[in-house]
């Protein structure tokens, strides 16, 4: 099976679904993280272009630790939108990678780039199978299944399913440890330690799911029915 996780900014996917991606890889699935924005606003004392290069290097290291591929779209922070050009660029990625499952951040709170990434995922998933959308790659036989994940600890996410990541928590921490600048940004802006925050959210979702640690997902009935077989590990 092929899986794509959209990361609105570097580290978002690892924070939210790193354990799930590790489990996908363990069972032999092909996994790609598509990072849309380059994280160039995270630290005030680093020039944006230099910070973007640093964030990319950290994202590449995190992807290598998870054993997944990384696609880098290189938008500036606060500029993730489902505009026509970006939709076509993402459709080309979908047609090239042919995913069965697309994981995207839910549009919650005031996380602007996450909201833009969700809109982008919805539009591009449908367009990827439309024969009259003309771009690189052949149309997919059908759009990939689309599930939302909670991009941070923002209130209001109502899960419809969980993945037990108890055995994958160490792999998730290992990937997050590569995002040094993200950890520094969270520490400075929220007084939060990146790894501790990720584990706390996973413990809360695990409590709901009846396991030690879990990651939560939500299906959107407006997008049509999911396949009858379970796609998540």
Q: Give 60's pLDDT tier (boundaries 50, 70, 90).
A: very high
Angle at 39 between CA 158 and CA 19, to 5 degrees: 45
Q: What are the CA-CA distances from residue 200 to residues 52, 166, 213 (Å)? A: 28, 13, 9
Share of the chain above pLDDT 70, in %: 98
Give the per-residue pLDDT at 111. Answer: 76
Q: Which residues of 142-155 are buried (b: 16+ CB within 10 A; e: fewer)?
A: ebbbbbbbbbbbee
Distance CA 75, CA 79 (A): 6
Please check the confidence at residue 231 and state whether its pLDDT lies above 70: yes
Backbone angles phi, psi at 150, to 5 degrees: -80, 120
Q: How confident is the model at residue 229 (pLDDT cuts 50, 70, 90)?
A: confident
Q: Is the confidence at residue 154, as pLDDT, over 90?
A: no
Task: Please give the pLDDT value at position 112.
Answer: 82
Q: Count, in order, helices (H) and strands (E) of the chain.
A: 7, 7
How confident is residue 224, by pLDDT bands cut at 50, 70 and 90?
low
Quick check: 89 pLDDT over 90? yes
Residues in the chain: 233
Global pTM reads 0.95
**pLDDT, tens digit, for every residue of 121-140?**
999 999 999 999 989 999 99
Within 10 Å of residue 66's Cβ, how many Cβ atoms?
A: 26
Rounded Cα distance, 70 and 106, in Å: 20
Mean pLDDT of the chain: 94
């Amino acid at each position: 099976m092929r899986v794509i996780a959209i990361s609105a900014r570097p580290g978002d996917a690892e924070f939210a679904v790193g354990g799930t991606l590790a489990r996908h890889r363990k069972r032999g699935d092909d996994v790609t993280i598509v990072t849309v924005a380059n994280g160039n606003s995270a630290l005030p004392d680093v020039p944006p272009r230099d910070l973007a290069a640093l964030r990319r290097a950290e994202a590449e290291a995190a992807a290598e630790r998870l054993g997944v591929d990384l696609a880098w779209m290189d938008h500036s922070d606060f500029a993730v939108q489902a505009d026509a050009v970006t939709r076509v660029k993402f459709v080309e990625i979908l047609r090239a990678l042919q995913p069965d499952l697309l994981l995207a951040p839910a549009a919650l709170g005031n996380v602007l780039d996450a909201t833009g990434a969700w809109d982008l995922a919805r539009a591009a998933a449908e367009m990827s199978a439309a024969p009259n959308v003309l771009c690189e790659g052949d149309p997919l036989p059908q759009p990939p299944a689309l599930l939302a994940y909670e991009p941070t600890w923002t209130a209001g996410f109502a899960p419809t399913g969980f993945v037990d990541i108890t055995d994958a928590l160490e792999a998730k921490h290992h990937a997050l440890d590569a995002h040094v600048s993200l950890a520094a940004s969270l520490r400075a802006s929220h007084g939060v330690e990146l790894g501790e925050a990720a584990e706390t959210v996973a413990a809360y979702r695990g409590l709901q799911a009846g396991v030690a640690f879990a990651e939560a997902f939500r299906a959107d009935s407006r997008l049509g029915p999911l396949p009858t077989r379970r796609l998540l590990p």
